[in-house]
Chain A
Amino acid sequence: MAVYERNYGRYQGPLTPPWSRFLILPRYAAKDVFESRMFVAFFVCCFLLPFAGLLMIYLHHNLAALKSSTCRSSSCSRRCRSTPPSSAAASRSQSWLCFLLALFVGPALIAPDLRNNGLPLYLSRPFSRTEYVLGKMTVLVALMSLITWVPGLLLFLFQAYLEGAGWLGDNLRIGFAIFAGSWAWILVVSLVALAISGVGEVEAGGAHLAADRLLRAHRLRAGPQRGARHLVGVPAVAGRTR
C-alpha cells in the first residue's frame, strides 16, 4: 500500500469579518427550523391575528366596505380602531405565541451541542462564548420579532397613514409600548429558553425533555449542528479553548 506524503496548508480563503461571525449560526439554524412543516404551519398561524387587525383597520377607514359588511354596530366600529386596550390585548396574544415558538425552537438550539460535545468545535475557532450565545439567541429573536413588534408597528403605521396628520403624534405611546414591551418579552423568553436548553441537557428531566422530544420529531439531529462546520473563513486554531 502506497503511503503518500501529506502536507497541510493554512486556510487561504476569505475570512468572515469578526463582527458578523455570530450571524453564521442563525443562518444554518433557520434552515433547520424551516425544514419542519409543522413549524411552518405554526409560524403562518402566528400572522393570522395581525392580518385580522389589518382588515379591521382597513374596514374602519373604508366606509363603503364597512357599510357593505356585516360589521355595522357602533361597538364593532369602535373595536376596529387601534386603541391602547385593543393593542395591549393583541400584544398579549402575540406574546403567548412567542412563548410557544420558544418552546418549539429553544430546546434544540444548545442542547445538541452540549450533548455531543460540539462546543469545542465552535469555541476552538476565533469565536467567543458571547458570539455563540448571541448567534443562538438571534434565531429566536428574529423569529419572535417577525410575529410581535414588526407586524405591530406596521399596523400602527398603517393606521397612522389612514388617520392622517396628528394621530401619530397623539398616539406615539402605543407604538413605543408595542416596541418596548415586545423586546422585553422577547429578550426574557429567548434567554430563559436558551438557559433551559443548556441546563436541561444535564438535568435530563422535566419540561425540557418533553419539549425536546416534541422537537426531536421534526427537527433534532444527532451530532453538533451544522453551523459549527460552516464557520466560513474561520479556521480552527488547534488547542485554543476559552
Chain B
Amino acid sequence: MSNVWAALFGLEIDDSHFAQPAWSAWLTLLLGCVCALWLLSRRIRAYEVVR
C-alpha cells in the first residue's frame, strides 16, 4: 500500500527493498479483493451442504 500511496502522490520510494512498479501494487490489491469476494461467495449461502 506504501507503493500505491507513493504512486498516487507522485513521491519517490526511499527504500529500494520495497521498490516495485505501481501497477504490481495495484494488482496485488485487486487480487486481494477478488480472493475475498470468492471466499464470501462460498460462505454466504442460505443453506449448507452436508456431505
Interface set of A (CB-CB < 8 Å, partner B): 84-85, 87-88, 91-92, 95, 110, 114, 117, 119-120, 122-124, 129, 132-133, 173-174, 176-177, 180-181, 184-185, 187-188, 191-192, 194-195, 198-199, 201-202, 241-242
Contact = CB atoms under 8 A, between A and B. Distances in A.
Residue among A88, A110, A120, A176 with the most chain B CB within 10 A? Answer: A88
Given A173-B10, A181-B5, A191-B33, 7 more contacts: A88-B8, A92-B2, A92-B5, A119-B45, A129-B45, A185-B1, A241-B46
Contacts of B4: 181, 184-185
Please tell me the size bucket of the interface on B.
20 to 34
A199 B43 contact: yes
Contacts of A199: 39, 43
B18 interface: no
Contacts, number: 89
Closest 10 pairs between A and B when the two form their complex, measured CB to CB: A123-B46, A177-B8, A191-B36, A198-B43, A195-B36, A195-B39, A241-B46, A84-B9, A88-B9, A177-B9
B29 interface: yes
A176 B47 contact: no
Interface of B: 1-2, 4-6, 8-11, 26, 29, 32-33, 35-37, 39-41, 43-48
A194 B6 contact: no
A124 B46 contact: yes
A85 B8 CA distance: 11
A126 to B, nearest CB: 12
A177 B5 contact: yes
Contacts of A133: 40, 44
Choose among A173, A176, A198, A242 the residue with the greatest number of B CB atoms under 10 Å from its CB.
A198
B46 A194 contact: no
Contacts of B5: 88, 91-92, 95, 177, 181
